[in-house]
Amino acid sequence: MDALVLEQKRELSLRDFPIEREERLGAHDVRIRLHTVGICGSDVHYYTDGKIGPFVVNAPMILGHEASGTIIETGSEVTNLKPGDRVCMEPGIPDPNSRATRLGMYNVDPAVRFWATPPVHGILRPECVHPANFTFKLPDNVSFAEGAMVEPLAVGVHAATKARIKPGDVALVMGAGPIGLVTALSALAAGCARVFITDLDDAKLEIAESLGPITPINVTSEDFAKRILAETDGWGVEVVFEATGSPRAAAAVFEALCPGGCVVIIGGQSAPIAYDAGAAMVREARVENIFRYAHVFPRCVGMLASGAIDVKPLITRRFEFKDSVRAFEIAASAPKGDVKMQIELPQ
């Protein structure tokens, strides 16, 4: 089948790419015709750098892991899904017998197989086979485009869950990219009364401001900590989400945090970051780290269906599958104002 293949760093092609192992339908699997696939920052990093941390592309690999589609076939033991169902898919499949999985932390199972993470292929291709237990039906009022946003939204919901947000809390999200924006939406849905958000891009900050009680701060022209402390009577925010992946930003996570507050590290760091233990200690701060997500896909689908979270404003550009290579070239250029780009496959 045709697929978007990362041949090596900075080289993409749209070509026939057989995947024999994944084409076999097991008793507990479903076969899905892909409809919409989002371009994630990790996909772009693999394209531009050929690796992310210890994950190195050593052989041609299909990209893509944020997806929605339609079931076209089910395994003999699948009873909760049927052909014609519109679905989204959780892309990480753990070993069901691993200790992490048995403890409920399947996202940190060392043996997890995650789409578009070497050596596992992604799903920028016409169809795939996937376990039914990691495939979720979309309600009629949730579009394919929104369904493909469930995966990034799951990161924000997992982060908000880790933060243990209380009704009326005030939060700071560092970074107004796709993950920062879904985190801001998740924080509001979890009960935050107000969210501050920082970035370098005014266009993204304008999108953030339109989403709810979100106060944008451009850090190129303003000291975010001074602004936040001035607007919180010198107290600060209860929760800080670091979603930039920038060592400089990560080094400043305690500056606007109130005593007893919580920091959640979301953005992946390419190198060790400076950690101000003294600043954390005097605040008795709690620091959480997240790795992807676990147990949140049904929650995300439910919030999209109810209107508790609206991700439609974050989808800023769409491409046809035949233009996938161009789509990645544009995404790699990081155009201002673009949040989430998606690719639609022919039906």
Q: Compare 326 and 53 and report the one with higher pLDDT.
A: 326
pLDDT confidence tier of residue 184, bands split at 50, 70 and 90: very high
Q: Are 210 and 190 in contact (CB under 8 A)?
A: no
Average pLDDT over the chain, rounded to an integer: 95
| Average pLDDT for 45-62 | 93
CA distance 286 to 105: 20
**pLDDT tens digits along 195-209:** 999 999 999 999 999
pLDDT of 48 above 70:
yes
pLDDT score of 270: 66
C-alpha distances out from residue 48 to 266, 284, 312, Å: 21, 40, 27
pLDDT digits (tens, 9 = 90+) for 145-165: 999 999 999 999 999 999 999
Q: What is the largest CA-CA distance in the chain?
A: 61
CB 221 within 8 A of CB 227: no
pLDDT at 21 over 60: no
What pLDDT, on a 0 to 100 scale, did the predictor assign at position 312?
97
What would the pLDDT profile of 67-125 be if each residue is shown by its tens digit? 999 999 999 999 999 999 999 999 999 999 999 999 999 999 999 999 999 999 999 99
* DSSP H/E element including 289: strand 286-289
Res 20: pLDDT:
62
Between 119-123, 248-252, 265-269, the lowest mean confidence (pLDDT) is in: 265-269
What local confidence, expressed as pLDDT, does residue 273 receive?
Answer: 79
What is the structure's pLDDT at 1?
81
Fill in the DSSP letter of residue 133. G
Give 211's pLDDT tier (boundaries 50, 70, 90).
very high
Question: What is the average pLDDT across 5-15?
Answer: 96
Report the SS3 class of residue 271: coil
- How many secondary structure helices (H) and strands (E) does the chain include? 11, 20
Q: What pLDDT is stored for residue 272 in this prediction? A: 77
One-letter identity of residue 102: R
Domains and CATH numbers, the chain: 2-149+311-344 (3.90.180.10), 155-289 (3.40.50.720)
Whole-angstrom CA distances from 310 to 144, 146, 234 are 14, 9, 32
In the chain, the percentage of residues whose pLDDT exceeds 90 is 90
Mean per-residue pLDDT, 300-317: 97
pLDDT band for position 53 (cuts 50, 70, 90): confident
User: Angle at the Cα of 222 (from 247 to 317), degrees rounded to 5?
Assistant: 70
Q: Strand pairing partners for 120? A: 117
61 Cβ neighbours under 8 A, 6+ residues apart: 5, 6, 46, 116, 118, 119, 121, 122
| pLDDT the model gives residue 11 | 97
pLDDT for 274 beyond 90: no
Q: What is the per-residue pLDDT for 185?
A: 98
